[in-house]
């Protein structure tokens, strides 16, 4: 089991930027696949961006050109740089991880990930 900790959320105005960080403190093994999901009130988790150790990156269409995901394989961390934020980007952002290399159809699917953080709130008004 991998403990994941997210940070960097907050309340911002439309058009602003935020950077989220996910880390796996104390975990000494390689995490192959990591991703960011977003969950609104009463909604399912939707995959926003995913990256693996080969730097294969997948984005949800609505964030392409605005969000950038990066992975530090040595540190088992990922960041999500979010720019030109919109109210519809609001939600709890959760970090997900798995020690497998995922098939494309699973990279933005909850089913692809075994471990989850508790999330960090992003509110855009």
Which DSSP letter does residue 84 get?
Answer: S
pLDDT tens digit string along 14-44?
999 999 999 999 888 889 999 999 999 889 9
Q: How confident is the model at residue 50 (pLDDT cuts 50, 70, 90)?
A: very high
The residues facing 20 across adjacent strands are 80
Task: Kindly list the distances between the CA atom of residue 17 and the CA atoms of 55, 91, 116, in Å, as whole numbers in the listed order.
Answer: 23, 15, 24
- Mean pLDDT (the chain, rounded): 96
């Amino acid at each position: 089991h991998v403990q994941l900790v997210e940070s960097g959320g907050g309340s911002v105005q439309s058009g602003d930027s935020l950077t989220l960080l996910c880390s796996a403190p104390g975990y000494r093994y390689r995490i192959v696949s990591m991703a960011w999901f977003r969950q609104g009130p009463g909604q399912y988790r939707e995959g926003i961006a995913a990256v693996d150790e080969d730097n294969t990156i997948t984005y949800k269409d609505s964030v392409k050109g605005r969000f950038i995901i990066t992975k530090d394989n040595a540190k088992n961390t990922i960041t999500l740089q979010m720019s030109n934020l919109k109210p519809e980007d609001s939600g709890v952002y959760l970090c997900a991880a798995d020690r497998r290399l995922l098939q494309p159809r699973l990279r933005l699917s909850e089913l692809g990930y075994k471990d989850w953080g508790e999330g960090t709130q992003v509110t855009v008004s």
